[in-house]
Structure 1
């Protein structure tokens, strides 16, 4: 078959010669295509007949990124491009501890989309469920652990990081044990149920020479990072106020989130924490004072042990006031709006796993309001946070959201509860440095 018959461009760049050669010789592998399916079969047949398998798939180090030429007109939307994940043997191995909703619905699928991370092991108290999940994700039986055999992870060289996705009250124990096993720790938020527990977690990881990161996915998500950029660049002038709300209607009163011994609190540490942490993330400064109220519907079995609603106001040294609200018994709302001198910036929804929406508005010189939606491609938030941590592990960098970031939130939440209890504002220690508790910023994902 000739080039003309294949409609090949005779002026195609020389760098694509291997592709032309493949197409010209692919006919020899048509039988293999029928047997194995697709072009891989043709490659296998060609390699087998010419003895060039080693040259087709060279072993060893070297660049692995692939670039493809643009094939659409300039008027067409650009594709996301080739993902170019790291080779599997170069990715950081994760052991996921706890196989509940978050792990099965978000974290394990995210590991399949990660570029620098991979699932290496599972830890669960349910052997039957773990066996099914292990089969789904190709995890070897010897890489499946119970809570009793958790410490044996120290002998597993395939595991670099332990991702703790357990009830809040268990975070401290499994972080300390994981650090002693010589593994880096990624821990779900809230970091723990008290500031003392947070301090013990930080101390254990420092003593073991291991990294500790808290899974604040919002701080790695592109749209929220765009809001941070707009705020800090004073795009619409000085920020004056922020409103943030995160509410949901809880169901089963017997789930662990409704038990104080396991959760440490109700709506505040679970979903209200997003409001608190995101406001701090956007501004880069720490609040100097907090005022709060707590209320739970009398007789509602869901709130026998933990609170239903919390409202709190954060006062910042710059003069910004942030009014935040969170609840466990009202219809879903997950949004915030930043009010500045000449415009506002809004995320609604802001805290969900998918479907985020960013809008902004400002007035022109004639006083006409201009409102626009900011379109930024959606990325998997869990994959982004895990790949950031993997990069920190590989390059020995301090994570952007280390244990100290989680400790600061815990201290502020304790002040929120104290203010609600005493019915008066609570002063917070002064922190002058911007981003005082954060580490190396995440590298923008390509």
Structure 2
């Protein structure tokens, strides 16, 4: 994790670049993101789950214009104390996993960002919704499509918004490539290649615990390939095939996948070939059309994201993804803004339908039809 000093240095450099003549207008014109000045009230967010990613989000939010950390929810009292001091959070906005339903009586909190192990998402999101607060849920949204449907229903019933932490949907290089594809600059899309993976360390961590993670690499970094294939091709897949490789069954126990290769078929005939792994370093997307190509490498890491097309390299300045994500999500929740690519519960549900089908294809060895 970057230190606060490193973060501030990088942020300062990014802001300097953003303020160079012509840079802001170019960014706004090509990214499709909302870059208008904002002078309204911020989205007041409580973060649930104060682990490494929760800390990254909190650091990034210090540069947000539309979102502010005002509360925390954690099962570790020492973490709560640390965050109180670091982010000036009042005691009345601090909760644990037993009493956080009481946020319904706290007018200082607008939304809760759920950043906990995958298996906890469903129940926690539903509880937040019942408390009358908007929800941002880290991906994967749930353990399966059924859980996602229950979360969506609960939020609709409570009349609160449900968003999913798709930070790449706001990353400017990614957005620009999708805009170029939408304009037909790559011609007819023929194929997509997606590689997402890293050699995972500590065998006792929750990501290698089936009960908490719901799977292995596919449920973690694999969702970037699933989601990326959908937004890069610009269509919804209609079938999937998949194969699993496991070289270390002692570390990757039953139900925890080490490496999965999967293929998605699209209505226009395009094919996506993807690999997700807890054993191989992979971070690359390639989109091929009959008139051009686009490559993101790295494609989903924390950045800087590097991108090029058949016309040359893209060169958008790097800002922490979570800073942009939270500002844009504040606009969605407070101002009903519409993002270039959806980040709502229905988007999360579609990815879990694909993941469910991938696991079924691995199990049966058959092509599995999809209807999203």
Same fold (TM over 0.5): yes
User: Structure 1 stretches of 5 or more lacking a match?
Assistant: 1-75, 363-371, 432-446
Pair 1:90 & 2:30 matched: no
Instruction: State the Cα deviation string for residues 292-320 of structure 1 (Å, max 9, x = none).
Output: 00121144324454010000010000111
Equivalent residue number for residue 353 of structure 1: 302
Q: What SS does structure 1 have at the residue aligned with 2:225?
A: helix
Shift in Å, 1:343: 2.1
Equivalent residue number for residue 293 of structure 1: 243
Pair 1:184 & 2:134 matched: yes
Which entry has the higher C-alpha Rg, 1 or 2? 1
Over 3 Å counting, the alpha-carbon distance change for 1:359 and 1:114 in structure 2 is same
Over 3 Å counting, the alpha-carbon distance change for 1:397 and 1:164 in structure 2 is same
Distance (whole Å) between structure 1 residues aligned to residue 36 and residue 162 of structure 2: 27
Shift in Å, 1:342: 2.7
Q: What SS does structure 1 have at the residue aligned with 2:310?
A: strand
Instruction: State the Cα deviation string for residues 257-287 of structure 1 (Å, max 9, x = none).
Output: 0011100010011101101101111233110
Pair 1:395 & 2:329 matched: no
Please give the root-mean-square deviation of Cα atoms over the aligned residues, in Å. Answer: 1.9
Shift in Å, 1:78: 5.8
1:156 aligned to 97, 106, 111, which one? 106
CA contact (8 A) 2:61 2:323 kept: yes
Pair 1:414 & 2:365 matched: no
Q: What SS does structure 2 have at the residue aligned with 1:90?
A: coil
Instruction: State the Cα deviation string for residues 82-137 of structure 1 (Å, max 9, x = none).
Output: x99745x7101000000001011x20012111111000101111101210111011
Equivalent residue number for residue 217 of structure 2: 267
Relative contact order, CA 8 A, sep 6+: which one is greater? 2
Instruction: State the Cα deviation string for residues 184-226 of structure 1 (Å, max 9, x = none).
Output: 0000000000111111100100000000011111111111001
The alignment's TM-score, normalised by the length of structure 1, stands at: 0.73
Equivalent residue number for residue 282 of structure 2: 333
Distance (whole Å) between structure 2 residues aligned to residue 380 and residue 85 of structure 1: 19
Instruction: State the Cα deviation string for residues 353-378 of structure 1 (Å, max 9, x = none).
Output: 1211001126xxxxxxxxx2111122
Distance (whole Å) between structure 2 residues aligned to residue 262 and residue 78 of structure 1: 47
Pair 1:242 & 2:192 matched: yes
Pair 1:203 & 2:153 matched: yes
Distance (whole Å) between structure 1 residues aligned to residue 65 and residue 245 of structure 2: 44
What count of residue pairs does the alignment treat as equivalent? 342
1:231 aligned to 178, 181, 188, which one? 181
Distance (whole Å) between structure 1 residues aligned to residue 290 and residue 159 of structure 2: 46
Equivalent residue number for residue 31 of structure 2: none
Shift in Å, 1:380: 2.4
User: Structure 2 stretches of 5 or more lacking a match?
Assistant: 1-19, 26-34
CA contact (8 A) 1:309 1:328 kept: yes
Detail structure 1 runs of 4+ shifted over 3 Å in the superposition: 76-81, 83-87, 302-305, 396-399
